[in-house]
Structure 1
Amino acid sequence: MPTPRPLVLALGLGLLALVSTADADAQRKKKAPAVSAQCTDFYAWANAEWLKANPLPADAGAISALGQLTDLALQQQRQLLDAAMKSPQTEVQNRLGDFWASGLDEAAIEADGSRPIAPLLSRIDAIKKAKDVPASIAALHQVGIPVVFNFAPDVDLKALDRHIGYFMQGGMGLPDPAFYTRNDADTQAVLARYRDYVKQILALTGTPKERLEADAKAVIDIETAIARKSQSLADLNNPFRNYVPVPVADAAKRYRNLQLAQFLEAQGVKDDLVSLPDPALFAELDAMIGRVKPEQWKAYLRWRVGDAMAPYLSRSFRDASFGFRGQVLAGQSAPAPRWQQVIEAINTAAGPMLGHEYANRYLTSEERRRATVVADEVRDALVAAVEGNTWLSAQAKAEAQAKLKALKIEVGTPRRDLDYTVQPMGRGSFGGNMLIASTWRHREEMKRIGKGNADRRWDVLPQQPALAYDIAQNRLIVTAAVLQPPVLDVDRPATAYGAYGALVGTQLSRAIDAKGAQVNARGELGNWWTPADTAAWNTLGERVAAQYAGQPYPGVKGGKVNGGQVRDVALSDQAGLQLAWDAYAKAQPEAKAADQQAFFGAWSKLWGQQVSENVAAERLAAEIHAPGPLRSNVPLSNLPAFGAAYGCKAGQPMQRAEADQVRVWR
């Protein structure tokens, strides 16, 4: 299965919370002038029909307009795979159809048992000496099962146009190294459940009953030794902490037991540079090759194969995996429907292949063209805003405009397609097909390593609704799945700008904000803002945070929004909405009042959502997106154009006094 990458692409589509309503009785008692619903709580007015039609189901923690878009994309994938199964038109469709059919055939999966992993287990069983272990480690990585450590391509931070291979910590079955070293009762209880799960999987892979205790202990001991030398999760998420380039020859010489040169050769990697940020960890791993007995390594490797493949094998494997990973770790009460599990598996192992077909089927040429045009117009609006900006220094303005002009916009699918040469899958073995597809995807991942290959693909799939700015490649990524209502409707220009255009603006703004300023137009790391620019940005952030701070958090009795927590996304929202309006006003200077109102309605309708009390409380504590009513209303209240469109007067809830309005790039 694909290895987690050390640098992660942050996506821009957030979800919101419950709507609040105006207290009309209180207004009557004060005998205040009547204020229209649009000027009082625009979110409640614009989303009234959606909120009425979408009550929160008893078994759901939250539903949202954007969540429904994700559900639609899943159903579209299901329809595509059904068609590929029944009447494939291309070789790729034929392979996907076979993959899908094999996953739905539960009787065949049950009869298949553990046969799909038998060749891997046989190779592991053939280990006789310590020097045999590294070759087995490399072979498992080749089929997409990372063991002992992780190895994945990512950006070379000194040359953002290329990727290098990152050797990173991994090889542990628990999500946090601290699980192996803490002594509190809760952690020890999880560790006890984990030990039971390890024994279940070992038994299913053929370990004799009399060896289960000893082999499970060997697994836990190996993982604990790795955990003791591993970084904390906070350090692991710091890309600069993880970038330590070293020549391959030096790494191979330093860690001879691990046979890293042979490992890279097995993965098809010919680059002469890798990142290896944890010499103490790899020194320990190198020592463990000789120190840990071959029989113990065999137990560990059998366990890693069984655990990785359990969701794709017979029911006894799946039940064991869900019992621990689903129920204990994730708190799930029941597994997803079978069809959804199979789609998730296909996306894991062959996601780009499915994405290629998804875009061909569900993205029209007009949607792609329109999305590109609107994105270009929003970019032009940002270039113009920067030119007239009053707080950026001259040097920052010049760099920002250069970066925006160099920015690439990729709509629907990645510009560079993949090699879809995959061995035939057939319909006989779902587990076998997972290994075939996972091997293919790992091969394609390894091809990203080397000069000029950094933009080979996206870090999100075309069939997943997403709109994101990729800071390393200075590109806007717009997936095929996001280009449908409520985000894009090609037949309604105003909504195309108010929803899609505004989301584009939120992401383009990130190219030149305080974080975007860490990379220049030439793709080089280094802050191009002056201290005065940074100070001005922080002042803007404080003003925006103050507009959200202390406002009631919908769904949480007595809860208040943490302005500082939502500040960064709120700044992007404010910028994006303004930029989209500027682009719309330029493209449609004669727009009728109804069309102008539709623009603002489209923005608000992105954030329709129903949330349970428990989920709302969780989001209040950790969510970086403001709750729905505020994410809709606060940016609108800063726009004079919104007040003009609906006749809202300054000082009314939906129109701030001019002195209180925040403008980001003006």
Structure 2
Amino acid sequence: MRYVYTLLAGAALLAACHTSTTADRGKADILAADLDSSARPADDFFQYANGGWIKRNPIPAEESSWGIGQLVVNENLKRLKTINLEADSAHAAKGTKQQKIGDFWHAAMDSAGIEAKGLQPLDNWFKKIDAIHDTHSLMDAMAQLDNIGASTMLSVGVSQDEKNSEVEAMHAWQGGLYLPEREYYLKTDSTSLHILHSYEALITHFLTMSGMPAATAATQAGNILALETSLAKVHRKREDLRDPYKNYNMLKAPDLYKMAPSLDLEQYFKTLGASRIDTIIVGQPEYYKALNQQVAATPLDTWKALLRFRLIDAFAEALPDAYGVEAFNFNKLLTGAKERKPRWKRVLRKEEGAMGELLGQLFVKEYFNATAKKRYEDLVEAIRDAYKHRIQQLTWMSDSTKQKALVKLAAIKKKVGYPDKWKDFSSLEVTHDNYVQNLMNANAFWVRYNINKLGKPVDRDEWDMTPQTYNAYYNPSNNEIVLPAGIFTVPGYRDEQLDDALVYGYAGASTIGHEITHGFDDEGRQFDEKGNLKSWWTKDDEQHFKERAAFIDRQFSSFVVVDTFKINGKATMGENIADLGGILLGWDAFQKTKQFKDNDSIAGLSPAQRYFLGYSLGWLMGSTQEYLRNQTLTDAHAPARFRVNGPFQNVDAFYATFNVKPGDKMYLADSLRVRIW
């Protein structure tokens, strides 16, 4: 994926093929305005490109990071708020888009009504949990809670069979952890231990607030933490999850049921609505063996306490404010945010998860047109042509593998802006006065939507992101790049105010080129042009790739982010390869433009300089120390600073453009530079 987080975004889009002059733009040049002239580009290009803006814009108390992504998000949250207010006041007919949006907003913003209800919306679910008396009723309760979005211990769902992309298959993945990643349970540094103790306190508080005696709640919180820690120990590390073959284990359903009899999986799937399952692709069988043991060995009172906590936590934002405050006070340890976001922003985030594409249908009518969609489709083709030329010129790859790579490249499907076909939300029930129930209904809707794919043809037109999302992705099973409208936004600037150099760096390199390169990174390269996990490389070519990829692993593993936290070069390898590939492809495509050939400066910056600054604009971000620690432990992406400085060290054109010489901090000897694509 392009970004380290998925956020709402907008579509005041920049132009891909327009070169403006200083006079045309009529406002300060964004690239020149963001510069930190006290930093040398040859020593720290991220600071040079973005440091001026970061110094003038401290991180707001409600944020964990602050930069261009958040600016886009906040600009478009206001647009979505307007859509919701208009829908709420329209009193539209039941079943219409406006009714669902307006009633969701109304119920969620009714803070007085929510306070008055207290925990009453959860009462029936507490009774279900209290009624658990054996492992069979435990697993049935887990399935019902998973159905409404109170995630428990299993992570299952329907998606394409990695080895047969025309088939929708049931998958089972490791899960069960509340904290973002296994290392949180296993690290022994003071920061990690503080987070663990605070997590235990959160469990205690929620259980006590729900009526459990304080001493019992504290005991059960310790038991829950011990249970999750035991499961964390069998979780595979992030880098190990990048091997698609090792994480593909197709089992006949009865064999999985026998392997983990205490999980009562046949009944679990039936409760979710999947009654006929022949095979299940299990990512990490050892997790299900360990969970089976824990279900059999852990006292039911501990399981009941865990489910009670997970239920409250899942809906904390829709319960009286005291619950949301408790959840925020814990999560700020992971993010560094000092204040909660205002209610309307929190509601829009929940609404995005509940029915974001429904919002998107109204959103694109107002903020994204067909002309902009066409503009970015053309830019995709310019990047694709650049990649084709690069593959043809490779010296380390055989002709036979090159031809297959070119076939795959040509087959990559592009989805730009918004879907051609929208999802059907007619079965989603939204009430006017029950926020918790609306969230439960939405979660159950998405479970049904997913389960109903089983046994049906793959819908290759489907989008997994909304148009307003500030993100993008490559899907190896569909061999497609998906580029929502929001990812191209430069806040505060119109199309005609942005020159090609900025566009080719900001959109062409960091987004389009990045996503296309994912089809050929350490993981994506293992899928063929139809999206099947299938080897199409010669053994020698595969070895050459691994040797070259090892360079980028070593480079990024040497970067210290904060304290003793270093980037995990293996876990971030795919994103690092995609960043480097995107920069090279964007540069190749940009050199064909009129702006590059004319070589006229804008705001004292040459076209070549503006290209690299345009790419860096995509990573304009200041971050809290807590956010950086969490990102280093959990994210497949390197922090923003290293997504600029790291790949630039491997780009010869960067050295020439900014006169980088031996002795400069950004300098890498030619023999150490990464040369893949």
Q: Could you tell me which residue of structure 1 aligns to residue 616 of structure 2?
A: 607
Deviation at 1:481, TM superposition (A): 0.9
For residue 638 of structure 1, give the secondary structure of its aligned residue in structure 2.
helix
Q: Matches of 1:556 and 1:298 in 2, distance apart?
A: 39
Out of 236, 244, 249, which is 1:244 matched to?
249
Letter in structure 2 aligned against 1:305: L
Structure 1 position 497 matched with structure 2 position 504? yes
Out of 252, 261, 265, which is 1:260 matched to?
265
- Comparing 441-450 with 531-540, greater Cα deviation is found at 531-540
Structure 1 position 316 matched with structure 2 position 322? yes
Cα offsets for 1:344-396 (capped at 9, x unmatched) = 22233333433444334322111111111111221122123322333321012
Cα offsets for 1:86-113 (capped at 9, x unmatched) = 3377822321222122222211111121
Q: Matches of 2:48 and 2:184 in 1, distance apart?
A: 48
For residue 315 of structure 2, give the secondary structure of its aligned residue in structure 1.
helix
Structure 1 position 56 matched with structure 2 position 64? no
C-alpha contact 2:562 2:629 (8 A) present in aligned 1: no
Out of 286, 306, 309, which is 2:312 matched to?
306
Letter in structure 2 aligned against 1:102: A
Q: Could you tell me which residue of structure 2 aligns to residue 580 of structure 1?
A: 586
Letter in structure 2 aligned against 1:85: D
Letter in structure 1 aligned against 2:408: K
Structure 1 residues 152-301: aligned runs within 5 Å: 152-175=157-180, 193-207=198-212, 209=213, 212-214=214-216, 217-218=219-220, 220-221=222-223, 224-225=226-227, 227-230=229-232, 231-232=234-235, 234=237, 237-238=241-242, 240-269=245-274, 270-276=276-282, 282=288, 285-286=291-292, 297-301=303-307
| TM-score when normalising by structure 1 | 0.77
Q: Could you tell me which residue of structure 1 aligns to residue 424 of structure 2?
A: 419
Q: Matches of 1:243 and 1:372 in 2, distance apart?
A: 34
Query: Which runs of 5 or more residues in structure 1 are unaligned?
Result: 1-8, 25-37
Deviation at 1:319, TM superposition (A): 2.8
Letter in structure 2 aligned against 1:638: A
Letter in structure 2 aligned against 1:198: I
Letter in structure 1 aligned against 2:312: G
Aligned length, in residue pairs: 631
Query: Which runs of 5 or more residues in structure 2 are unaligned?
Result: 7-30
- Comparing 452-461 with 197-206, greater Cα deviation is found at 452-461
Q: Matches of 1:549 and 1:258 in 2, distance apart?
A: 39
Out of 423, 440, 450, which is 1:445 matched to?
450
CA change 1:94–1:379 in 2 (3 A) is same
Cα offsets for 1:310-347 (capped at 9, x unmatched) = 22201232233333x32455554332222222122223
Deviation at 1:397, TM superposition (A): 0.8
Q: Matches of 1:101 and 1:282 in 2, distance apart?
A: 41
CA change 1:376–1:11 in 2 (3 A) is same
Deviation at 1:510, TM superposition (A): 2.9
- Comparing 63-72 with 447-456, greater Cα deviation is found at 447-456
Deviation at 1:275, TM superposition (A): 2.8
Q: Matches of 1:563 and 1:275 in 2, distance apart?
A: 28
Q: Could you tell me which residue of structure 1 aligns to residue 89 of structure 2?
A: 86
Deviation at 1:466, TM superposition (A): 1.6
CA change 1:564–1:634 in 2 (3 A) is farther
C-alpha contact 2:474 2:482 (8 A) present in aligned 1: yes
Q: Could you tell me which residue of structure 2 aligns to residue 139 of structure 1?
A: 144
Q: Matches of 2:545 and 2:259 in 1, distance apart?
A: 46
For residue 164 of structure 1, give the secondary structure of its aligned residue in structure 2.
strand
Deviation at 1:224, TM superposition (A): 3.4
Out of 513, 519, 529, which is 1:521 matched to?
529
Letter in structure 2 aligned against 1:519: F
Q: Could you tell me which residue of structure 1 aligns to residue 514 of structure 2?
A: 506
Letter in structure 1 aligned against 2:393: G
Cα offsets for 1:264-297 (capped at 9, x unmatched) = 1222224422134565654565566666666554
Structure 1 position 368 matched with structure 2 position 370? no
Deviation at 1:403, TM superposition (A): 0.2
CA change 1:442–1:595 in 2 (3 A) is farther
Q: Matches of 1:360 and 1:422 in 2, distance apart?
A: 23
Q: Matches of 1:343 and 1:630 in 2, distance apart?
A: 34
Cα offsets for 1:428-457 (capped at 9, x unmatched) = 121221112121122223234445337574
CA change 1:358–1:282 in 2 (3 A) is same
Structure 1 residues 367-446: aligned runs within 5 Å: 367-414=372-419, 417-446=422-451
Q: Matches of 2:566 and 2:254 in 1, distance apart?
A: 56
For residue 594 of structure 1, give the secondary structure of its aligned residue in structure 2.
coil
Cα offsets for 1:610-666 (capped at 9, x unmatched) = 6479589969988365548747965776169x85xx9x8999999999999989678
User: Percentage identity across aligned positions?
Assistant: 21
Letter in structure 2 aligned against 1:272: D
Q: Matches of 1:657 and 1:188 in 2, distance apart?
A: 38
Cα offsets for 1:538-564 (capped at 9, x unmatched) = 67668889999999x9x999x999999
Q: Could you tell me which residue of structure 2 aligns to residue 33 of structure 1?
A: none
CA change 1:307–1:656 in 2 (3 A) is closer
For residue 160 of structure 1, give the secondary structure of its aligned residue in structure 2.
strand
- Comparing 627-636 with 493-502, greater Cα deviation is found at 627-636
Tell me which structure has the larger Cα radius of gyration: 1
Q: Could you tell me which residue of structure 2 aligns to residue 358 of structure 1?
A: 363
C-alpha contact 1:548 1:562 (8 A) present in aligned 2: yes
| TM-score when normalising by structure 2 | 0.76
Q: Matches of 2:402 and 2:665 in 1, distance apart?
A: 32
Structure 1 position 96 matched with structure 2 position 101? yes
CA change 1:599–1:71 in 2 (3 A) is farther
CA change 1:610–1:436 in 2 (3 A) is closer
C-alpha contact 2:382 2:589 (8 A) present in aligned 1: yes
Structure 1 residues 553-592: aligned runs within 5 Å: 572-586=578-592, 588=594, 592=598
C-alpha contact 1:219 1:303 (8 A) present in aligned 2: no
Q: Could you tell me which residue of structure 1 aligns to residue 126 of structure 2?
A: 121
